[in-house]
Amino acid sequence: MDIRQALDLLSLRIKIQDKTQLSWIDVPEIIPLRWQYLRTNWKPIKALLQQRIDYISDNDTGLKNRLNLQLDDLDSLVFLKSQNTKNDNPFLNKEYIGNFYDIYGLLLISDIQVLSEESYIINKNINKVVSLNKKDFLDGAGKNPQPQYIF
């Protein structure tokens, strides 16, 4: 486990402990599974994202600008891929997770109905994180699985 993975797992653990809603970026494995829904329902999702960006304090113009740029880029991607007759999923390319990292952080898992495959992945990640202790975060190895959580 590299430092980025450890930080992501720690962030997920803190959200679980604080009972904070999880975002797409907390469980990035579900992002490719959500492409079809996102493509089909882009207008309301885009409006939701724009609303969340607009809600960010005007004092944080750097973040707002970055989010607006990512939203514009994602809008272009969705438009281009929607015009394509092939049913290819650009989110299978991990580069797109990085390109839209901040946008995925604005989308809550609960914004879209969770399918059974997604629920399995979410529970697997939660179980993994819950089973880690301080030493595991430092060493990079989790052990005992915990009971599943349902969303």
- Kindly report, residue by residue over 63-122, the tens digit of the pLDDT: 999 999 999 999 999 999 988 878 789 999 888 888 999 999 999 999 999 999 999 999
Q: How far is CA 92 from CA 35, 83, 88, 124, in A?
A: 9, 18, 9, 20
Helix (H) or strand (E) holding 70: helix 61-83
- Kindly report, residue by residue over 23-48, the tens digit of the pLDDT: 999 999 999 999 999 999 999 999 99
Distance (Å, rounded) from C-alpha 85 to C-alpha 82? 8
pLDDT at 95: 81
Largest separation between any pair of C-alpha atoms in the chain: 49
Between 136 and 142, where is the model more confident?
A: 136
Distance (Å, rounded) from C-alpha 87 to C-alpha 36? 9
Distance (Å, rounded) from C-alpha 60 to C-alpha 38? 27
Between 14 and 75, where is the model more confident?
A: 75
Q: Hey, CA dihedral for 63, 2, 135, 23, is it positive or negative?
A: positive
Percent of the residues in the chain that have a pLDDT greater than 90, as a whole number: 54
Every domain of the chain and the residues it spans: 1-22+116-151, 34-107
Other C-beta atoms closer than 10 Å to the C-beta of 109 total 19
Confidence band for 129, pLDDT divided at 50, 70 and 90: confident
